[in-house]
Amino acid sequence: MIKAWSDDAWNDYVYWYEQGNKSNIKKINKLIKEIDRTPFTGIGKPEPLKHDLSGKWSRRITDEHRLIYKVENETIYLYSAKDYFRMLRNTGR
């Protein structure tokens, strides 16, 4: 599948890389591979999101951070890879 990174998601990924946080980078890479293989099941406790984020899914990077994505027409759209609660604040939740 094609991976389409939003600016926020890419900036989050770069942030983890620049921080030298190899474990989060490895986890994100592993989650993306799993999404490619099985979009809605598998590691990271995939959960469908609700309300303003309906249609998107989350998987756990850590207890605090989530990978937010949507799969559509053979494309994985990546929206966020850090601070899940930022996404909720931005939608008014």
Can you give the pLDDT at residue 48?
97
3 near 35, Cβ under 8 Å?
no
- Please give the distance of CA 9 from its chain centroid, rounded to a whole number: 7
For the chain, how far is it from start to end, CA to CA, in angstroms? 31
Q: Report the CATH architecture of 2-90.
A: 2-Layer Sandwich (3.30)
Q: How many CB atoms lie within 10 A of CB 22?
A: 10
Q: pLDDT tens for residues 5-42?
A: 999 999 999 999 999 999 999 999 999 999 999 999 99
Q: pLDDT tens for residues 62-91?
A: 999 999 999 999 999 999 999 765 655 565
Can you give the pLDDT at residue 88?
54
Domain boundaries, the chain: 2-90
